């Protein structure tokens, strides 16, 4: 095997379209990072194949900060249901518990829409279980735009420093198998087609439409890649990434 990069940051999103949390280590299952996007809100009025209520429709969704009440330790291979308990801090300072009627009602009043909460131990991702993005790509996009991009805009699971510094290096890994750390094996299967979410400042939710415009014009609308999981295990920051 040849090492081609290093995991610099791990991130999961307990509630779909809300803020993420950085991790020192994470258990990766066939469904993705354990605890990633296990809660989501559905818009019952939306009859399309994308029924989720997200930051696309309500930008301020991304400002809510969820965290697992008990940390959801990665060593636990089969957590009990109560270990998936999540507390959410609103940007007005209020704290809520996922599943409590009061939080759903709070969102409905804020956004003027009837919502339903869903929970699933199998991650409710948009496409594939795990997403990856090279930091060199973010730096290159920052140079093209003329201002620095916060990596949190891209809502990836793994942020990687590739040994090859070329931007969009990850696009060349389509069809390749990667081993991360001692156990986990992924197969890169798809480029990540982007939406309005990357235009939103992760702290303020203010939009910079030119970001998506540039990605669409110069990069075929894609930033980062998706992967499926071939072998489960635990991944840590600073773990090597090798081609298999």
Check residue 98 and give its pLDDT: 95
The residue behind tokens 């998506």 is: 212
pLDDT of residue 242: 98
Q: What is the mean pLDDT of the chain?
A: 96
Q: What pLDDT sits at residue 46?
A: 87
Mean pLDDT over 114-139 rounds to: 96
* C-beta separation of 170 from 12 below 8 A: no
Q: How far apart are CA 180 and CA 218, in angstroms?
A: 30
Domains and CATH numbers, the chain: 2-243 (2.40.33.20)
Q: What are 187's strand-pairing partners? A: 177, 228
Residue labelled with tokens 């003329």: 146
130 class by beta-carbon count within 10 Å (0-12 exposed, 13-18 middle, 19+ buried):
buried
Place of tokens 């009043």: 109
pLDDT of amino acid 73: 87
Query: β-strands 39-42, 32-33: how paired?
Result: unpaired
Region 161-184: mean pLDDT is 97
Task: Read off the pLDDT band of 47 (50, 70, 90).
Answer: confident
Please state the rounded mean pLDDT for residues 109-138.
96
C-alpha distances in Å from residue 220, one per residue of 138, 175, 243: 16, 19, 26
pLDDT band of 233, cuts 50, 70, 90: very high
Angle formed by the axes of helices 209-218 and 135-145, nearest 10°: 110
> Predicted confidence band at 125 (pLDDT cuts at 50, 70, 90)?
very high
Separation of alpha carbons 3 and 221, rounded Å: 29
Q: What is the pLDDT of residue 223?
A: 98
| Residue 76 confidence class, pLDDT cut points 50, 70, 90 | confident
């Amino acid at each position: 095997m040849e090492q081609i990069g290093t995991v610099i940051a791990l991130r999961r999103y307990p509630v779909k379209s809300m803020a993420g949390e950085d991790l020192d280590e994470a258990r990766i299952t066939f469904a993705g990072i354990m605890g990633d996007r296990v809660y989501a809100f559905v818009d019952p009025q939306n009859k399309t194949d994308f029924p989720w209520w997200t930051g696309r429709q309500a930008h301020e969704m991304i400002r809510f900060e969820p965290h697992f009440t008990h940390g959801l330790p990665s060593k636990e291979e089969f957590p009990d249901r109560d270990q998936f308990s999540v507390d959410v801090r609103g940007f007005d300072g209020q704290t809520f518990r996922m599943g409590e009627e009061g939080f759903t009602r709070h969102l409905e009043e804020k956004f003027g829409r009837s919502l339903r909460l869903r929970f699933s131990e199998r991650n409710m991702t948009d496409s594939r279980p795990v997403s990856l993005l090279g930091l060199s790509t973010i730096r290159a996009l920052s140079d093209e735009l003329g201002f620095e991009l916060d990596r949190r805009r891209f809502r990836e699971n793994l942020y990687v420093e590739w040994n090859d510094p070329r931007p969009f290096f990850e696009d060349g890994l389509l069809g390749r198998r990667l081993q991360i750390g001692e156990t986990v094996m992924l197969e890169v299967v798809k480029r990540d087609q982007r939406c309005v979410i990357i235009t939103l400042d992760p702290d303020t939710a203010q939009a910079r439409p030119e970001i998506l415009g540039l990605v669409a014009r110069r990069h075929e609308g894609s930033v980062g890649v998706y992967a499926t999981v071939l072998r489960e295990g635990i991944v840590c920051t600073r773990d090597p990434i090798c081609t298999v």
